[in-house]
Amino acid sequence: MGHETIEAYHAAQAEADRRICDALRRIIDDGVAGAESRIWHAHPVWFLEGNPIVGYGKLKGCVRLLFWSGQGFETPGLSPEGKFKAAEVRYTDVGEIDEALLRRWLDEARTVQWDYKNIVKRKGRLERLV
């Protein structure tokens, strides 16, 4: 069943995963102040001008943090994910979150963006925004 709010999403997680989600949300909210955040495709996601930039979700055995344009980041530490430009990192404990590194990725998420908002309209072709 889907969750209507990020708070409800967090509340549905096991305690260890909820701590990871709470920490990620705090850092992301601060790091991309002014971004819209909401549940999108059943997971918490942050958007700049309607374009998804970062989100996270519970997978079997971990919480995955995903940056939609992360393959274009210069800061190391993310693994490619999928056939487009996304990259991820996976956490099994809140202590694994490197806040300084996450903040560098969030800075890059503002300046390295591919246009996922219009990917359907462009029939699966991505264009660089910034």
User: What is the mean predicted confidence (pLDDT) over 91-112?
Assistant: 96
Tens digit of pLDDT for each residue in 2-30? 689 999 999 999 999 999 999 999 999 99
Residue 85 sits at φ, ψ, to 5 deg, of -110, 10
Task: Tell me the two tokens of residue 20.
Answer: 């990871």
Task: Tell which CATH architecture fits domain 6-111.
Answer: Alpha-Beta Complex (3.90)
End-to-end C-alpha distance for the chain, whole angstroms: 36
Tens digit of pLDDT for each residue in 29-61? 999 999 999 999 999 999 988 889 999 999 999
Counting beta carbons within 10 angstroms of the beta carbon of residue 114, is it exposed (0 to 12), middle (13 to 18) or buried (19 or more)? buried
